[in-house]
Amino acid sequence: MTLTVDGLRVGDLVRDVSFSLGAGERVGLIGESGSGKSLTALSIMGLLPDELRATGSVRLDDRELLGASERELSRLRGNGLSMVFQEPMTALNPAMRVGRQVTEPFRVHGRRGRSAEELLAAVGLPGTARAYPHQLSGGQRQRVVLAMALANEPSLLICDEPTTALDVTVQAQILSLIKDSLSENAALLFITHDLAVVASVCERVLVMLDGEIVERGSTRDVLTAPQHEYTKALLAASDLEASR
């Protein structure tokens, strides 16, 4: 699997964004609110709001995703391509038992798969299949979302600030769950504003500012020897201990 984003543009909000992601790679996309991180992710998923249009090219192997029909994209989403959002409560159906929700990717894609119990147990939630989302904590809900996203063993998983709404101890659990449960050949695009998180999860980083990628490289190079002024400023601001 290779994801190739080439000259992606969404109005003025994302400009000339290009990068590629190969099998097994874990890449972080960092930047502050309004920098265009989430729009980049939504463009890849074909989930941009109606009033926005992406131009350029997003290819999954040889298939062009921009401009692909909804029918084609639906076949990919939750299958080859899946996404975990920041707020699990809005990603889950409040009126459906979580057991039925985690197996939905199988039904939608006409596959047979593991049982709800098995999928939930794999994310550390045995015996919760009959629960509704509101009966679970925030961290448990995010585990359910992750179980759904991983059900069909996607070749690309996009996580958009998956732990930002969670408590620190829960955040640590979800991060290690993401690292451990992603299959070796799957690629990960991990969006976050937290440099410590990106350092612990990703081997490569893209830094976005005002809709453009201003710096890219291995996590080590970018975080220990940043070249762009903005990356330097971001590091300085994130390192509260330095200025204490």
Partner 1 sequence: MSALVEVRDVTRVYKRRDVQALRGVSFDVEAGQRFGIVGESGSGKSTLVRLLAALDRPTSGTVSFDGRRIDNLPERKLGFLRSSMQIVFQDPMGSLDPRMRVRDIISEPLGRRSPERVASLLEAVGLPAEAASRYPHQFSGGQRQRISIARALAPNPSVLLADEPVSALDVSVRAQILDLLARLVAEFSLTLVFVSHDLGVVRHVCDRVAVMRRGEIVEIGAVEEVYETPQHEYTRELLAAAPNLRAELARLSGGSAQDA
- How far apart are CB 28 and partner 1 at their closest, in Å? 12
Residues contacting 101, CB < 8 A, separation 6+: 92, 93, 144, 148
Residue pointed to by tokens 């930002």: 164
Pick from 172, 212, 214, 217: which binds partner 1 (CB under 8 A)?
172
- Does 119 contact partner 1 by CB under 8 A? no
**Looking only at residues 132 through 151 of this chain, which bind partner 1 when binding is defined by CB under 8 A?**
138
- Does 238 contact partner 1 by CB under 8 A? yes
| Span from 90-98, 116-124, 126-134, 168-176 in contact with partner 1 (CB under 8 A) | 168-176
Residue pointed to by tokens 């039925």: 100
- Does 223 contact partner 1 by CB under 8 A? yes
**Looking only at residues 74 through 93 of this chain, which bind partner 1 when binding is defined by CB under 8 A?**
none
Pick from 16, 64, 167, 229: which binds partner 1 (CB under 8 A)?
167
**Looking only at residues 30 through 69 of this chain, which bind partner 1 when binding is defined by CB under 8 A?**
32-33
- How far apart are CB 240 and partner 1 at their closest, in Å? 4
- Does 243 contact partner 1 by CB under 8 A? yes
Q: What angle do CA 25, 31, 34 make, to 5 degrees?
A: 125
